[in-house]
């Protein structure tokens, strides 16, 4: 059985709720897994707990974070920005992951953008990234608050901004392993944005794509109820690291 510890991490005057899931006994893997939820006002770390427990059963230490204003963390969701998400995740990693530990970064929806942002932050420490139905966001809206009246329009209705996302370059050039996980039907990510993402990932020889038939955009919720799909995700992400 995995051991689950819940606590809070201090950042910028806020208290960020997180869980740490660790193997109960025996040898552990050097790589540490970090789970990042989507950017909606109702998103939280909790649906990804089952995935974290499955990783822990294989010897991985896992962190899952509620960003400011989400889940059990303090603060307001409307005050969040893309840059603040990156800073909060990086702060948690700096405080709770040994500096020598390689990283596996897992992001759902907007968490995919955050995962790619952290590749630039942590460099070669990042060994693998898993992007679940990710979105990409142009550089010009990095500090636009989620509660700003223009945010939704800038994200979904301005396709000329999508190619400016730094996430696309990371997806195309990341030297570690990238796993793109897509639902059978994504009702949230616009088709044009999804096409940019898929083309970027396909150009990277160390990338692969997994499609989960029957699932919608909220893949963390789907995986919580479908253990065989969790097994496929973990297998696809770690297939080249075990004899």
| CATH of residue 186 | 3.40.50.1820
What angle do helix axes 166-173 and 110-122 make, rounded to 10 degrees? 70
Q: For residue 226, is it within any domain?
A: yes
Angle at 193 between CA 192 and CA 197, to 5 degrees: 120
Angle at 56 between CA 53 and CA 61, to 5 degrees: 120
Distance CA(233)–CA(208), nearest Å, equals: 11
Phi, psi of 160 (to 5 degrees): -70, -15
Q: What is the pLDDT of residue 158?
A: 95
Residue for token pair 């427990």: 53
pTM reported for the whole predicted model: 0.96
Burial class of residue 138, CB neighbours in 10 A (0-12, 13-18, 19+): buried
Q: What is the pLDDT of residue 38?
A: 98
Q: How many CB atoms lie within 10 A of CB 176?
A: 18
Q: What is the pLDDT of residue 243?
A: 39
How many domains, the chain? 1
- The helix (run of H) or strand (run of E) holding residue 209 is strand 207-212
Q: For residue 39, is it within any domain?
A: yes
Q: For residue 243, is it within any domain?
A: no
Low-confidence ranges of the chain (pLDDT < 70): 241-243
Range(s) of the domain holding residue 56:
3-238
Phi, psi of 202 (to 5 degrees): -65, -25
């Amino acid at each position: 059985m995995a051991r689950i510890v819940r606590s809070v991490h201090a950042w910028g005057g806020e208290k960020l709720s997180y869980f740490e899931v660790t193997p109960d006994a025996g040898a552990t893997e050097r790589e540490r897994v970090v789970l990042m939820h989507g950017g909606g006002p109702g998103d939280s770390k909790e649906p990804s707990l089952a995935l974290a427990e499955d990783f822990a059963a294989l010897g991985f230490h896992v962190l899952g974070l509620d960003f400011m204003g989400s889940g059990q963390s303090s603060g307001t969701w409307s005050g969040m920005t893309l840059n603040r998400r990156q800073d909060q995740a990086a702060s948690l990693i700096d405080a709770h992951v040994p500096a020598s530990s390689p990283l596996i970064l897992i992001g759902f929806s907007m968490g995919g953008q955050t995962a790619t942002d952290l590749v630039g932050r942590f460099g070669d420490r990042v060994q693998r990234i898993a992007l679940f139905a990710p979105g990409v966001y142009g550089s010009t809206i990095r500090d636009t608050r989620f509660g700003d009246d223009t945010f939704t329009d800038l994200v979904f209705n301005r396709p000329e901004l999508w190619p400016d996302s730094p996430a696309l370059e990371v997806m195309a050039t990341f030297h570690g392993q990238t796993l793109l996980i897509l639902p059978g039907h994504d009702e949230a990510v616009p088709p044009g944005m999804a096409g940019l993402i898929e083309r970027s990932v396909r150009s990277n020889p160390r990338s692969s794509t997994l499609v989960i038939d029957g699932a919608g955009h909220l893949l963390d919720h789907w995986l919580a109820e479908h253990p065989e799909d969790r097994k496929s995700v973990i297998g696809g992400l770690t297939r080249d690291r075990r004899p």
